[in-house]
Chain A
């Protein structure tokens, strides 16, 4: 009983960090603890949050996906170009017809899956470190986006922008998407064969193989999941901003997503990931980003604080995990 409560406390310590940060920010600025600001905060973090649920799966299998920011940009540009008004003067795809929003979104998700499949196959079958494979993927995707268009893609159809900028009642759709992805990630990791296989592969891939798990297939699927969520994030990004920029859209988003997953207790040594932890990690990053802006802290200092928090939480986590072993 004692050990059990202790474990519960150590597993949920991260929520204490979140509450502490919220307290600090609330004391620092009276505008922080307001409904309007929480809406801003969540809207701001939803896109990176969706990516975080993707990359957390990769980290769970001892991998990483550095390509998600760049592939989000590529897909934002391509799908954005498909839904530009047909009579828009500076249309990227000259003379083409305007695609229905749903078709463009599905094409985008399919592209994301494809990018994930290629990277996943390379990682699974050549045993190449995921860091390298997806670093290559990042360069390729970013460059492809810049080749596809040199100027920002704007004037996007309203239907397409629904995911990024619409509201249902008081709730922004973008936040809703984030929550749906959270629930889906929790379902996959907790309730499906695929999810349980990922824990096994991350924990001990040799043992997983002997237990009959097709390690390669599952690794491939992991990166497909990452890719699809990156695509979704890209579509949300373009929808929210109303345009997609090949050079700056989604730039460094992968790092924030990785940071959120990591702060949320996803272990880079594999086999450990709690979806609620990742959610908490996303919120922590959000509180820092949002709160420090309200406090008027310079961007560079914000990054210093972020960096310190990431390193300190992971240091605690490592200590916890090594003590167990």
Chain B
């Protein structure tokens, strides 16, 4: 599987060079003469805010989109791929941010999809399985090639996707946000694979927004902004602040602009809440004007708690008390009527309605409360939308623009606007800045702080420790469905949080035993 690597002689400094790449879409110049030079056997990270042109550049490289002008030199020869197939055959493979596995087929089927080994006219299933096993072993993965894809966790699917990319004997593997669905330990596995590939002379082009991970694995970093090439430098010569400054073209002085505000009485009291395996005897208080963080590993049950409070998930037992009144919420509508709002973690899956415009997306929850009358009061809808476009600075050409045309950060702001229109006392935000560029991140953080200042109560679920630590007044830490610890702001430290996140609280265990 490893032959043909020898021709990457040391005399060639770069395996890939892209010069003066211009890509024009009707009315938009997405790339304005961009440069990229990748050395073999290195991890080259592309950085930039959403819309900076990183993904477009990669799509031009692998032939999904034709370049308008510019030169691509791969292994010393000028190339111009017209399809991903051509790029793959030449040894450039890409792992996309959005996975597209065939769920009803096996792992082996997915890995060899479209290039199944043949035995005469028949597919050679035995060879498929054996080659798969060999690849898994090489990567230290424990997976059954005969397992149906749909039975795998998202993280495992991601690993299969990576295996698939590697199996093309690629000289360049492009990874677009590969860790967004992985747990910490799986990220470690991925990094091991990356090291392995590097040692074999494979170049990795890595796209990610996660600073700590970028600085851990990158050899070189190239920064882009608004379709323009800004700079390339060895990672060791850069600091996080410098990279951010290059990306946004301005200095973000404070990622977590926390405003201290008075914290009032308890507004939400959750007692002994149980719902399935991942919500076990959960209790906590939320006060007026407080930002309560929820930390824990992926799969600790944080999202599930929020879904239970919001009526998406069935509550088995326990009490949810708001302002002294016990609530019996069975649907999101009832939650909204009780002034609870949930900004879900899966923005595309159950947040935005892509085809609809900004106004429809923003007004939909308030509209469903019957607040716009019959016939619908269009003027009031337009006014409401404009108010939040202005106050939370949504960048959009018009209210009619389909929301899918906006960047992730702006989509998120529209959804914040949607919930603000329902006048929530309690706003729950689940991974509010996932996949959002740094500039918009800081804005969302300051928005949360501002809302708390208005006397609303906010719950922030986040897997990024700096984020929860930066915005929260208190942090509830979850482990496998139980609350394992609650920390005050003065007690915050990454080490303490990780300690609680990886172990059970004895109290919680005793409670389960005595049942």
Interface residues of A (CB under 8 A from B): 2-3, 187, 190-193, 196-197, 199-200, 203-204, 206-214, 271-272, 324-325
Contacts and interface: CB of A to CB of B under 8 A. Distances in A.
B132 interface: no
Contact of B332 (A191, A209, A271): A209
Contacts of A204: 349-350, 352-354
Contact of B368 (A2, A203, A213, A272): A213
B252 interface: no
B375 A187 contact: yes
Contacts of A192: 374-376
Interface stretch (B272-280, B359-367, B484-492): B359-367
B59 interface: no
A211 B351 CA distance: 8
Nearest to A214: B333
Nearest to B28: A3
Given A193-B372, A204-B353, A207-B352, 17 more contacts: A187-B375, A190-B376, A191-B374, A193-B368, A193-B374, A196-B360, A197-B368, A199-B356, A207-B350, A210-B310, A210-B342, A211-B365, A211-B368, A211-B418, A212-B335, A271-B354, A324-B405
A219 B418 CA distance: 23
Contacts of B364: 196, 200, 208, 211, 213
Interface of B: 27, 310, 312, 331-333, 335-336, 342, 344, 349-356, 360, 364-365, 367-370, 372, 374-376, 397, 402, 404-405, 418, 422
Contacts of B367: 193, 196
Contacts of A211: 332, 364-365, 368, 418
A250 B417 CA distance: 48
A190 B376 CA distance: 8
Contacts of B422: 212
A82 to B, nearest CB: 34
A193 B372 CA distance: 8
A209 B312 CA distance: 8
A298 B385 CA distance: 55
Contacts of A206: 349-350
Contacts of A199: 353, 356, 360
A220 to B, nearest CB: 15
B375 A191 contact: yes
Contacts of B372: 193
Contacts of B370: 193
A203 B331 CA distance: 20
B368 A210 contact: no
A200 B362 CA distance: 11
B286 to A, nearest CB: 20
B227 to A, nearest CB: 18
A210 B312 contact: yes
A207 B422 CA distance: 16
Contacts of B418: 211
A206 B307 CA distance: 13
Closest A-B pairs by Cβ, 9 of them: A191-B375, A206-B350, A203-B353, A212-B333, A211-B365, A212-B336, A271-B355, A204-B353, A212-B368
B355 A214 contact: no
A196 B375 CA distance: 12
Contacts of A203: 353-356
A210 B356 contact: no
Contacts of A213: 333, 364, 368
Contacts of A2: 27
B494 to A, nearest CB: 32
A88 to B, nearest CB: 45
Given A210-B312, A210-B332, A324-B404, A271 B353 contact: yes
B308 to A, nearest CB: 14
Contact of A272 (B335, B355, B404): B355
A192 B344 CA distance: 26
Residue from A197, A209, A212 with most neighbouring chain B CB atoms (10 Å): A212
B316 to A, nearest CB: 21
Contacts of B360: 196, 199-200
Contact of A200 (B332, B333, B353): B353
Contacts of A214: 331, 333
18 contacts: A191-B375, A192-B374, A196-B360, A196-B376, A197-B368, A199-B356, A200-B353, A203-B353, A203-B355, A206-B349, A206-B350, A210-B342, A210-B351, A211-B365, A211-B418, A212-B365, A213-B333, A325-B354
A320 B350 CA distance: 24
A72 B352 CA distance: 38
A273 B351 CA distance: 21
Given A204-B353, A271-B355, A325-B354, A210 B344 contact: yes
Contacts of B352: 204, 207
B310 to A, nearest CB: 8
B459 to A, nearest CB: 16
Nearest to B397: A3
A214 B27 CA distance: 40
A208 B360 CA distance: 11
Contacts of B331: 212, 214
